[in-house]
Chains A and B, each alone.
Chain A
Amino acid sequence: MTALAHVPTSAGEPAAAPRRSRSRLLPYLLLLPGAAWLLIFFALPLLQLAAASLYDPGGSLSTGYAMTWAFDNYPAALQAYWPHFVRSFAYSAIALVLALLMGYPLAYAIAQKAGRWKNLLLVAVVAPQFTSFLVRTLAWKTILSDNGALVGLLRDVHLLGPDGRLLATPFAVVLGLTYNFLPFLVLPLYASLERLDSRLLEAASDLYASPLRAFQKVTLPLSMPGLIAGTLLFFIPATGDYINAELLGTPNEYMIGNVIDSAFLVRLDYPQGAALSFLLMAAILAIVFGYLRKAGTEEVL
Chain B
Amino acid sequence: MRTMGHETPAGDLRLANLTKRFGVFTAVDDLSLTVPQGSFFALLGASGCGKTTTLRMIAGLEEPTSGQVLLGDRDIAGLRPYKRPVNTVFQSYALFPHLDIHENVAFGLRRRGIRKVTDQVERMLALVQLEGYGRRKPAQLSGGQQQRVALARALINHPQVLLLDEPLGALDLKLRRQMQIELKRIQTEVGITFVHVTHDQEEAMTMADTVAVMNAGRIEQLGAPADLYEYPATAFVANFLGQSNLLAGEAAGRTGDDLPVTAHGARFSVPADRARVDHGPVFLGVRPEKLHLAADPGEVPAGHQHVGGVVTDASYVGVSTQYLVRTAWGSELSVFAANSGVGGRLAVGTPVTAHWDPRHAFVLPREPGEDDQTAPLLDEPPVGVPS
**Which chain A residue lies CB-closest to B112?**
A3
Given contacts A1-B158, A3-B112, A4-B160, contact A12 B77 (CB under 8 A): yes
CA distance A210 to B78 in the complex (A): 62
| Chain A proximity mask over B79-101: 1 for CB below 8 Å, otherwise 0 | 11001110000000000000000
Contacts of A7 in B (CB 8 A): 79, 83-85
CA distance A144 to B187 in the complex (A): 77
Contacts of A5 in B (CB 8 A): 85
Is B112 a contact of A13 with CB atoms below 8 Å?
Answer: no
Q: Show 10 A/B contacts (Cβ-Cβ < 8 Å), sorted by A.
A: A1-B85, A4-B157, A4-B159, A5-B85, A7-B85, A8-B83, A11-B78, A12-B75, A12-B79, A19-B80
**4 A-B pairs closest in CB distance:** A12-B78, A4-B85, A1-B158, A16-B78
**Which chain B residue lies CB-closest to A5?**
B85
CA distance A128 to B63 in the complex (A): 52
Is B304 part of the contact surface with A, judged by Cβ < 8 Å? no
**Which chain B residue lies CB-closest to A3?**
B112
Is A9 part of the contact surface with B, judged by Cβ < 8 Å? yes
- Residues of B contacting A: mostly: loop
Contacts of A11 in B (CB 8 A): 78-79, 83
Is A301 part of the contact surface with B, judged by Cβ < 8 Å? no
Is A123 part of the contact surface with B, judged by Cβ < 8 Å? no
Contacts of B158 in A (CB 8 A): 1, 4
- Closest-CB distance, A24 to chain B (whole angstroms): 14
CA distance A15 to B83 in the complex (A): 12
**Which chain A residue lies CB-closest to B79?**
A11
Give chain A's interface residues, CB within 8 Å of chain B. 1, 3-5, 7-9, 11-13, 15-16, 19
Interface residues of B in 105-144 (CB under 8 A from A): 112, 114
Is B279 part of the contact surface with A, judged by Cβ < 8 Å? no
Given contacts A1-B85, A7-B84, contact A13 B78 (CB under 8 A): yes
Contacts of A8 in B (CB 8 A): 83
Contacts of B63 in A (CB 8 A): 16
**Which chain A residue lies CB-closest to B84?**
A7
Contacts of A9 in B (CB 8 A): 74
CA distance A16 to B85 in the complex (A): 18
| Chain A proximity mask over B283-296: 1 for CB below 8 Å, otherwise 0 | 00000000000000
**Which chain B residue lies CB-closest to A9?**
B74
Interface centre among B78, B80, B114, B160 (most CB of A within 10 A): B78
- Closest-CB distance, B58 to chain A (whole angstroms): 15
Contacts of A3 in B (CB 8 A): 112, 114
Contacts of B80 in A (CB 8 A): 19
CA distance A9 to B72 in the complex (A): 11
- Closest-CB distance, A147 to chain B (whole angstroms): 56
CA distance A11 to B80 in the complex (A): 9
| Chain A proximity mask over B41-78: 1 for CB below 8 Å, otherwise 0 | 00000000000000000000001000000000011011
- Closest-CB distance, B65 to chain A (whole angstroms): 13
Contacts of A12 in B (CB 8 A): 75, 77-79
New A-B pairs, 18, CB < 8 Å, besides A5-B85, A7-B83: A1-B85, A1-B158, A1-B160, A3-B112, A4-B85, A4-B157, A4-B159, A7-B79, A7-B84, A7-B85, A9-B74, A11-B78, A11-B79, A12-B75, A12-B77, A12-B78, A15-B78, A16-B78
**Which chain B residue lies CB-closest to A8?**
B83
**Which chain B residue lies CB-closest to A14?**
B78
- Closest-CB distance, A188 to chain B (whole angstroms): 27
- Closest-CB distance, B116 to chain A (whole angstroms): 14
CA distance A16 to B78 in the complex (A): 6
CA distance A16 to B159 in the complex (A): 23
Interface residues of B in 286-341 (CB under 8 A from A): none
